Every structure is written in structure tokens, then in C-alpha cells.
């Protein structure tokens, strides 16, 4: 599975869009990009995933570059409850490999 690289920490003002980058330059054609988040020692929570196309759900948007070497998770209107560690994972779900969560990006939403 492709290795992902995320900044260790970011800040965002409440009400503004939070843009969390992820680099996965070695991603292969069958690997999806998944995003999870973990709020203060709770169990991680699924946010969104995608392969090639941009995706949007009620929680966030996922923008994947055309070459698929990087992606951005967008929280359109960040709230204090979005303060969490965000994990970007690249994985081919058909290989038998497991999710590798890494250390993620610690997002702090500032009032």
C-alpha cells in the first residue's frame, strides 16, 4: 500500500473551511484514499473515501488531484467539535492488506 504523508498539525478558525492535505505520491491505480478522524481518545470515525473522482458527503469533501498523487479533505465550515486527529490512508481493499493509520494531522479549530 502507498505510504501517505500528512502535516503533523494544523489550525483553523471556527466557521472557516479546513483543508487537510495528504500526499500519496506512490499510490497505485487500485488504491483508494480513505479519511478517518479521532476525537480525543475516542475510537476513530470514518469520514469519506474515493478512488479518482472528487467525493462529497454530509461530513466533508474529498478532492483528489488528477494524477492521484495527493488529496485534500475539506471540512467546509469547521466547528470546535471538528478538533481531532485526521488520518489519510491509501489502500487497495482487494489485496488483503490492512488499514495503516499512522499518526495523522492534529487539527485544532480555534474560536
Partner 1 sequence: EAQVTQNPRYLITVTGKKLTVTCSQNMNHEYMSWYRQDPGLGLRQIYYSMNVEVTDKGDVPEGYKVSRKEKRNFPLILESPSPNQTSLYFCASSLSYGSYEQYFGPGTRLTVT
Sequence-distant (6+) residues with CB within 8 A of 65 are: 71
- Burial class from Cβ neighbours inside 10 Å (0-12, 13-18, 19+) for residue 6 reads buried
Min CB(41)–partner 1 separation in Å: 6
Sole binder of partner 1 in the list 19, 61, 74, 102 (CB under 8 A): 102
d(CA 111, CA 99): 33
Sole binder of partner 1 in the list 44, 59, 72, 108 (CB under 8 A): 44
Q: Does 53 bind partner 1 (CB under 8 A)?
A: no
**Number of residues near partner 1 (by CB under 8 A):** 21
All 3 cell numbers of residue 90?
491509501
What does the binding site for partner 1 look like in residue numbers (CB under 8 A)? Answer: 32, 34, 36, 41-46, 49, 87, 93-94, 96, 98-104
Amino acid at each position: 500500500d502507498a505510504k501517505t504523508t500528512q502535516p503533523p498539525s494544523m489550525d483553523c478558525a471556527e466557521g472557516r473551511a479546513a483543508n487537510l492535505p495528504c500526499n500519496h505520491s506512490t499510490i497505485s491505480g487500485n488504491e483508494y484514499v480513505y479519511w478517518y478522524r479521532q476525537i480525543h481518545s475516542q475510537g476513530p470515525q470514518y469520514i469519506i473515501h474515493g478512488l479518482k473522482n472528487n467525493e462529497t458527503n454530509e461530513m466533508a469533501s474529498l478532492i483528489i488531484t488528477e494524477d492521484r498523487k495527493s488529496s485534500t479533505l475539506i471540512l467546509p465550515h469547521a466547528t470546535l467539535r471538528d478538533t481531532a486527529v485526521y488520518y489519510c490512508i491509501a489502500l487497495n481493499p482487494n489485496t488483503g492488506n490492512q488499514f495503516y493509520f499512522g499518526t495523522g494531522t492534529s487539527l485544532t479549530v480555534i474560536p
